[in-house]
């Protein structure tokens, strides 16, 4: 039995690793001159949101992702209440471990693998 125990532990670790979803760290930076409101971020396998991100602010979020193409969508409102964003941000396949999303001075959204 003592000889079989290391083998059983190895088998357990290998089989469990197939059920662990990969994680992604999402950094959303607001580089515009105004706060953005009602922010919604769609990522492979889920959605999260928050109410406001101040000018110059960064929101950090860690999420489990599905094994799908790495497409993000960010929607938000400007100070006047206009809906902005919503275009798919494609980062290839598989998703990187970190994604940096930026709302620039013109309120345009872009994304790239994080550093």
- The predicted pLDDT at position 21 comes to 75
Contacts 24+ apart (CB under 8 A), 83-89: 84/36, 84/109, 85/109
In a domain, 13, yes or no: no
pTM of the model: 0.81
In a domain, 38, yes or no: yes
In a domain, 2, yes or no: no
- The predicted pLDDT at position 16 comes to 54
Residue 17 pLDDT level (bands cut at 50, 70, 90): low
Higher pLDDT, 6 or 110: 110
The CATH code of the domain that includes 40 is 2.60.40.2890
Residue 11 pLDDT level (bands cut at 50, 70, 90): low
CB 36 within 8 A of CB 30: yes
* Selection from 58, 67, 18 nearest residue 39 by Cα: 58
In a domain, 91, yes or no: yes
Give the domain extent around 94.
Answer: 21-113
Higher pLDDT, 12 or 43: 43
H helix or E strand, kind and range, residue 10: helix 4-17
In a domain, 7, yes or no: no
In a domain, 92, yes or no: yes
Quick one: average pLDDT of 62-89? 93
Average pLDDT of the chain?
89
Domain count, the chain: 1
Length of the chain: 115
pLDDT digits (tens, 9 = 90+) for 47-63: 999 999 999 999 999 99
* Selection from 43, 34, 25 nearest residue 89 by Cα: 43
In a domain, 44, yes or no: yes
């Amino acid at each position: 039995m003592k000889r079989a125990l290391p083998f059983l532990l190895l088998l357990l670790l290998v089989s469990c690793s197939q059920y662990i979803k990969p994680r992604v760290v999402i950094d959303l930076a607001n580089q515009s001159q105004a706060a953005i409101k009602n922010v919604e971020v769609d990522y492979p396998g889920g959605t999260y949101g928050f109410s406001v991100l101040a000018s110059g602010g960064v929101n950090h979020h860690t999420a489990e992702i599905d094994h799908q193409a790495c497409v993000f969508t960010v929607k938000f409102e400007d100070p006047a209440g206009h809906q902005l964003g919503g275009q798919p941000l494609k980062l290839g396949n598989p998703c990187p471990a970190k994604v940096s999303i930026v709302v620039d001075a013109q309120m345009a959204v872009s994304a790239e693998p994080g550093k």
